[in-house]
Chain A
Amino acid sequence: MKFTDVFLQTATKILAFIIMIYSIYILFAGHHNPGGGFIGGLITASALVLLYIAFDFQSIRDIVPVDFNRLAAIGVIVSVLTGAASFLFDVPFLTQTFDYFDLPALGRTELATAVVFDLGVYMAVIGTTMTIITSISEDQK
C-alpha cells in the first residue's frame, strides 16, 4: 500500500519530531507535572503511528530500526530490575528513593530512582503498542 500524500508527509516530517520531543518532555515532567512513562510512551507511539501512516512501512523501518518486541521486553526487564535492585540495599522490592544533587549546568536537581522505573514503563508501552499495531497492519498485505 504505497500512496503519497504530499501534505501529510510534509506535515508529518515536522510534527513527528515535535510530538517525539514533547513525549520525552512528558516522560520526565511526570514527576512534578501531568505526564509520566505511560503517557509519554503512548505519545511516542502515536508519533510513530503518524509516521507509519504518512510513509510506507519499509522506509520507516529503515529510519527507526527498532525491534518493538524486544523494546517491550527490555522495558519490562528494566522495571523489574529496578525493583530487584532494592534487594541490594536490603529494603523491600520496588522501594524507590530520591535525593537532590548539584549537577553542572542544571544546578540543584532532584534525581529519583522512580524515573528509571518509569523509563521501563515507557519502553514497555511503546514496544507493546507498536508491536500490536505493526503486526496487525502488516498482516493485511
Chain B
Amino acid sequence: MTLLHVAILLPFISVPLIPVLALSFRRIHAGWFAIVVPALLLVIFARYFSFQKPPEPQYASVPWIPSLRIHFSICLDGLSLLFALLISGIGTLVVFYSIFYMSKEREKLHLFYAYLLLFMGAMLGSVLSDNLLALYAFWELTSVASFLLIAFWFHRKRSRYGAQKSMLITMSGGFSMLLGFLMLYAASGTFGIRELIALGGQVSRHGLFIPAMFLILLGAFTKSAQFPFHIWLPDAMEAPTPISAYLHSATMVKAGVYLVARLTPVFGGHPEWFWTVTVVGLLTLLMGSLLAIRQSDLKALLAYSTVSQIGLIMSLLGIGSLALAEAHADRSFLYAGAILAAVFHLINHSIFKGCLFMMIGILDHETGTRDIRRLAGLIHVMPASFTLTAIGAFSMAGLPPFGGFISKEMFFTGALTTWRTMDGFFVWIPIVAWMASVFTFIYCMILIFKVFAGPYEAKPSMRAPHEAPFGMLVSPMILAALVVLLFFLPNAVTPSLLEPAVQTVLPQLFADRPDWHAHLSAWHGLNTELLMTIGIILLGTLLYKYLTTFRNLYDSLPFKLSLNQAYDNGLQAMERYSGKVLRLYMSGSTSHYLSYLFVFLIVVVGGSFAIGRTMTLRLAANATIELYEAMLGLLILAAALFMLFTNSKLVSIIAVSVIGYIVSLFFVILRAPDLALTQLVVETISTTLFLLCFYFLPKVSKFASPPAVRLRNALIAIGVGATLTFIGLATQEHHLFPSISEYYYDSYALAGAKNMVNAILVDFRGFDTMLEIVVLSAAGIGIYTLIKLRHPERDEP
C-alpha cells in the first residue's frame, strides 16, 4: 500500500461516510463534506507535479487476486498524472459549484455526493491502473456511477431513459473491451500494461492481436461517445448540470481517449489502428458539429459539441499513431506533433467545456429554461455570465486569445501533415477538419449571440433573471482564467505535463531522444493554418447570418434515419422477442419445470453415459444384499406404488413419509447415525409442512390429466430413476482420484472432535456449511416474502 493506493481508495472510503455526515449535520450543505476529498486528492497529485521538470514515474503494486494475475498495480506517469490532475482539479471545482447549484432543502444530497465520489474513485482507478483487469473493473464502475448520477432525478422519465441508454451502450462496449483484454492476455500472457508495451512486436504477430484491437476500440468508442455510439451522450444531459460538467464533458467521456492513448504503444503503427481511430474520430467530429447546430436545448448543443471535440482528439491520436509506423520512421516527429496537439486539446477542452457547462447551468438556474428560442438579450442582466460564456465559447471556436486557438492550429498542422507527407489522397483529412471547424464556429456563435445578444424582454413564463450568486461563479471564473492563461503561457505546462504525456504515448520514439522538447506558441507566422482559421471565421459568419435557411436544410436531408430510432426499436424488439421466448417455457407450473430438469438430466447425463460408454457396471464387487435390506427396499417400492395409485391426498403424504422413514432405517443399517438422525427429523418436519400445505395442494385428481401426459411423466420418472441408479452403482467402480476421506480420519487430532461427520461440517468444510445456512435462510426469506407480501387483490382466486 502506497500513498497512491490510498489516494484511489480515499473516495471509496468516503462514499459511506458522506451520507452519515450529511444526515447528521443537516444544516450544513453536504457538499462541504464532499469537497474535502477532491481537494485532498488534488494536493496529493500536485505533490508529483512541478513546473520545471517532468514527473518521476511512480509504480506500486499490491496483489489483489494473485491466482488470476490481477494486481492492484498503479502507474503514475505523464499521461496518468495529467488525467489525475484533471479529475481531482475539475472535481474540486465542480463540487464547489454544486454547493451553490444543488438545493440543500429539495435534493437528496447525501446520495448525490456519495455517487459523485464513487465515480471519482472509479475514474482515478481507471487512469492509474497498470493492470488491464483492474482497469476494466474501475472502468465499469464509472459506468455504474454515471448511471446512478444520470438517474439522480429518477422521477423523470427522460432521466431513467438516458441512464439506461448510457449504461447499456457503455457497458456493452466495456464487455467487448474485456474480451479484447482477454485476447491480449492470450497473445501476450500478461495483464500488465507496462509489460505488454515492453513485449513490443512479439504480441502483434499473434492471430488474436487484430480482433483484440477492434474489441478494445469498441470499448473506447462507446465510452467516449464516438460515432455511431454518440447517441447516449445527449440523453445523459438529463443529469444535474454539475454532473454533466464533470462526467460528460471533462472526465468520463475522456476515458476512451485515455485508453486509446494508453494503448497506442501497443497498437500504434498498425494501419488498422490508424484508419479506425482517425476515420471514426473525424466522422464523429463532423457529425457532432453538424448536429450541434440544430439543437435548441443549450445542454444538448454542448453535448453534441463534446461528442465532436472528443472526435477531434481521437482523430489526432489516430494521426499521431503513425509515428510508430515503420514506413514513416523518418517523419515520425511530425506525427508526434499530433499527439502533442491531442494532449493539449484534451486539457483545453476539459477546461473550457467545464466552464461552459457550469455557465449553462447558471443560465438554467437563473432563468428556468435552457431553450435557445426563449432566451435573448441576457447580456443586459447577466454581464458576468456573458463574459465567462464568451471566453469558453471563443476558446471552443478556436479564436485568439484563448487556449483553444493554439490547439486548433495544432490540430490543423496534424491534419495537414498527413496530406503533405503521404499522397494527395489524404487531402480529405484537412478538408473534413476544416469543415467541422466551420460548424464548430457556428454553434459557438449560437451559444453566445442567440442567448446573450439582442434586446432583452422579460417573458411572463420566465423567472426574472439576475446575475448568479458569487459562489456559483467562482468555479467558472477559475476555469475561464485558465483558458486565457493557456493562450499566453502555453509553455507553462509543456515540460511538466505535455512532454511527459506525449512520451508516455510514444515511448518507443523517445527512448533514444530524451532531449526532445516541445514548444508551443500562439503565433506561428502567416501559414496555412492561420489562413484556414481566417477562412473559418469568414465562412462561419456568413453561414451564421443565414442560419435559418441553412438549418432548414437539415430537415430536408435524410438525417431522420436516426440512430436513436434504431436504438429504441432494437430495444423494444429485444424485449418483445425475449418475452416471447420466455413465455414459451415459463408456464408457471411446477410439474413442467421439474420435467425440464429431469429431461435435461436424462439426455445429458444418461445420454453421455450411453454414447461415451465412460462407465461400466460391475456388480460382483458389491456387498451381498441381506434379506432385511431387500425387505426394506420392497417396502419403499410398495409405498411409492401406493402413493401413485391412491386418490387421497392425505394417504399420498403419509406414503411419502413412509419412504423417508425407511431411508433413515437404511442409514441406521449402514452405520451412519448422524444421517439417520437428520433424515428422521427432516422427514418429521417435512411431513408437518406437507400437512400444513394440505390446503394449497391441487384439488384435482391425479387421473384428470390425459393418458398421454401421464405416460410422458411416467417415462421421465423411470428415466431419471434408471439414470441415477446407474450412476450410483457405477461410481463404486470408478475412482479417478485417490479418496480424500483418509484425511478426515484424523479428526480428533486435527479438530479435537471424535465425531468425524460433525468435524467435517463445522471445521474441515465449514465454508460449505456457512453457505448452506445462508442459502437456507435466503429460501426462508423467499417463502416468507412470497406469502406475506403478495398482492392483496391476487388473494382471491
Interface residues of A (CB under 8 A from B): 26, 30-39, 42-43, 45-46, 49, 53, 69, 72-73, 75-76, 79-80, 83, 93-94, 96, 98-99, 110, 112, 114, 117-118, 120-121, 124-125, 127-129, 131-133, 135-137, 139-140
Given A42-B682, A42-B685: A127 touches B777 (CB 8 Å cut-off): yes
Check B787–A139 contact: CB distance below 8 A: yes
Residue of B nearest to A130 (CB): B780
Check A76–B753 contact: CB distance below 8 A: no
Given A121-B773, A124-B777: A136 touches B751 (CB 8 Å cut-off): no
Q: Does B593 contact A (CB under 8 A)?
A: no
Given A32-B755, A83-B766: A132 touches B783 (CB 8 Å cut-off): yes
Q: In the complex, what distance in Å separates the CA atom of A76 from the CA atom of B783?
A: 17
Check B755–A33 contact: CB distance below 8 A: yes
Closest 6 CB pairs of A and B: A98-B752, A128-B780, A32-B754, A34-B673, A42-B681, A124-B773
Shortest distance between the CB of B673 and any CB in chain A (Å): 4
Check B784–A135 contact: CB distance below 8 A: yes
Q: Which listed residue (A37, A39, A128) contacts B681, Cβ 8 A? A: A39
What residues of chain B lie closer than 8 Å to A37, measured between beta carbons? 761-762
Check A131–B784 contact: CB distance below 8 A: yes
Check A46–B763 contact: CB distance below 8 A: no
Q: In the complex, what distance in Å separates the CA atom of A76 from the CA atom of B758?
A: 18
Check B695–A31 contact: CB distance below 8 A: no
Check A38–B761 contact: CB distance below 8 A: yes
Q: List 28 A-B contacts (CB under 8 A).
A: A30-B762, A31-B753, A31-B759, A32-B753, A32-B755, A34-B673, A35-B674, A35-B758, A36-B755, A37-B761, A38-B761, A42-B685, A46-B684, A76-B777, A93-B767, A96-B766, A98-B753, A117-B766, A124-B773, A125-B776, A131-B784, A132-B689, A132-B780, A136-B689, A136-B693, A139-B787, A140-B692, A140-B695
What residues of chain A lie closer than 8 Å to B783, measured between beta carbons? 131-132, 135-136
Check A79–B773 contact: CB distance below 8 A: yes
Interface size class of B (residues with CB under 8 A): 35 or more
Check A35–B677 contact: CB distance below 8 A: yes
Check B674–A36 contact: CB distance below 8 A: yes
Q: Does B774 contact A (CB under 8 A)?
A: yes
What residues of chain B lie closer than 8 Å to A118, measured between beta carbons? 758, 762
Interface residues of B (CB under 8 A from A): 673-674, 677-678, 681-682, 684-685, 688-689, 692-693, 695, 751-755, 757-759, 761-763, 766-767, 769-770, 773-774, 776-777, 779-781, 783-784, 787-788
What residues of chain A lie closer than 8 Å to B788, measured between beta carbons? 135
Q: In the complex, what distance in Å separates the CA atom of A75 from the CA atom of B752?
A: 23
What residues of chain A lie closer than 8 Å to B695, measured between beta carbons? 140
Since A36-B755, A73-B777, A112-B753 are in contact, a sample of 16 more A-B pairs with Cβ atoms closer than 8 Å, ordered by chain A residue number, is: A30-B762, A32-B753, A33-B754, A34-B674, A46-B685, A72-B776, A72-B777, A76-B774, A76-B777, A96-B766, A114-B762, A124-B776, A132-B689, A132-B780, A133-B689, A136-B783
Given A37-B762, A121-B769, A121-B773: A114 touches B753 (CB 8 Å cut-off): yes
Check B784–A114 contact: CB distance below 8 A: no
What residues of chain A lie closer than 8 Å to B685, measured between beta carbons? 42, 45-46, 49, 129, 133
Shortest distance between the CB of B287 and any CB in chain A (Å): 53
What residues of chain A lie closer than 8 Å to B754, measured between beta carbons? 31-33
Check B755–A110 contact: CB distance below 8 A: no
Check A83–B777 contact: CB distance below 8 A: no
What residues of chain A lie closer than 8 Å to B692, measured between beta carbons? 133, 136-137, 140
Q: Which listed residue (B677, B770, B780) contacts A83, Cβ 8 A? A: B770
What residues of chain A lie closer than 8 Å to B761, measured between beta carbons? 36-38, 121
What residues of chain B lie closer than 8 Å to A127, measured between beta carbons? 777, 780
Shortest distance between the CB of A136 and any CB in chain B (Å): 5
Q: In the complex, what distance in Å separates the CA atom of A139 from the CA atom of B795?
A: 11
Q: In the complex, what distance in Å separates the CA atom of A124 from the CA atom of B304?
A: 56
What residues of chain B lie closer than 8 Å to A42, measured between beta carbons? 678, 681-682, 685
Given A30-B758, A69-B784, A94-B767: A46 touches B681 (CB 8 Å cut-off): yes
Check A98–B751 contact: CB distance below 8 A: yes
Check B763–A79 contact: CB distance below 8 A: no
Q: In the complex, what distance in Å separates the CA atom of A136 from the CA atom of B692?
A: 7
Q: In the complex, what distance in Å separates the CA atom of A118 from the CA atom of B674?
A: 15
Q: Which listed residue (A33, A35, A125) contacts B773, Cβ 8 A? A: A125
What residues of chain A lie closer than 8 Å to B766, measured between beta carbons? 83, 94, 96, 114, 117
Q: In the complex, what distance in Å separates the CA atom of A73 from the CA atom of B753?
A: 27
Residue of A nearest to B770 (CB): A79
What residues of chain B lie closer than 8 Å to A139, measured between beta carbons? 787
Q: In the complex, what distance in Å separates the CA atom of A37 from the CA atom of B754?
A: 16
Q: In the complex, what distance in Å separates the CA atom of A52 from the CA atom of B674?
A: 27
What residues of chain A lie closer than 8 Å to B673, measured between beta carbons? 34
Q: In the complex, what distance in Å separates the CA atom of A137 from the CA atom of B693?
A: 8
What residues of chain A lie closer than 8 Å to B688, measured between beta carbons? 46, 49, 53, 133
Check B758–A31 contact: CB distance below 8 A: yes
Check B752–A110 contact: CB distance below 8 A: yes
Check B780–A38 contact: CB distance below 8 A: no
Residue of A nearest to B795 (CB): A139
Q: In the complex, what distance in Å separates the CA atom of A83 from the CA atom of B774?
A: 13
What residues of chain B lie closer than 8 Å to A33, measured between beta carbons? 754-755
Check A80–B770 contact: CB distance below 8 A: yes
Residue of B nearest to A32 (CB): B754
Residue of B nearest to A99 (CB): B752
Residue of A nearest to B786 (CB): A135
What residues of chain B lie closer than 8 Å to A49, measured between beta carbons? 685, 688
Query: Of B681, B770, B773, which is in contact with the most chain A CB atoms at under 10 Å from its CB?
Result: B773
Shortest distance between the CB of A11 and any CB in chain B (Å): 16
Q: In the complex, what distance in Å separates the CA atom of A38 from the CA atom of B773?
A: 9
Q: In the complex, what distance in Å separates the CA atom of A17 from the CA atom of B773?
A: 26
What residues of chain A lie closer than 8 Å to B770, measured between beta carbons? 79-80, 83, 94, 117
Q: In the complex, what distance in Å separates the CA atom of A131 from the CA atom of B673?
A: 28
What residues of chain A lie closer than 8 Å to B769, measured between beta carbons? 79, 117, 121
What residues of chain B lie closer than 8 Å to A128, measured between beta carbons? 773, 776-777, 779-780
Check A39–B678 contact: CB distance below 8 A: yes
Q: In the complex, what distance in Å separates the CA atom of A49 from the CA atom of B692?
A: 11
Check A112–B779 contact: CB distance below 8 A: no
Shortest distance between the CB of B687 and any CB in chain A (Å): 10
What residues of chain B lie closer than 8 Å to A96, measured between beta carbons? 751, 762-763, 766
Shortest distance between the CB of A30 and any CB in chain B (Å): 5
Check A132–B784 contact: CB distance below 8 A: yes
Shortest distance between the CB of B372 and any CB in chain A (Å): 56
Q: In the complex, what distance in Å separates the CA atom of A123 from the CA atom of B606?
A: 40
Residue of B nearest to A53 (CB): B688
What residues of chain A lie closer than 8 Å to B759, measured between beta carbons? 31, 114
Shortest distance between the CB of A112 and any CB in chain B (Å): 6
Residue of B nearest to A122 (CB): B773
What residues of chain A lie closer than 8 Å to B751, measured between beta carbons? 96, 98, 112, 114
Residue of B nearest to A34 (CB): B673
Query: Of B673, B753, B780, which is in contact with the most chain A CB atoms at under 10 Å from its CB?
Result: B780
Q: In the complex, what distance in Å separates the CA atom of A32 from the CA atom of B692?
A: 36
What residues of chain A lie closer than 8 Å to B773, measured between beta carbons? 75-76, 79, 120-121, 124-125, 128
Shortest distance between the CB of A24 and any CB in chain B (Å): 14
What residues of chain B lie closer than 8 Å to A72, measured between beta carbons? 776-777, 780-781
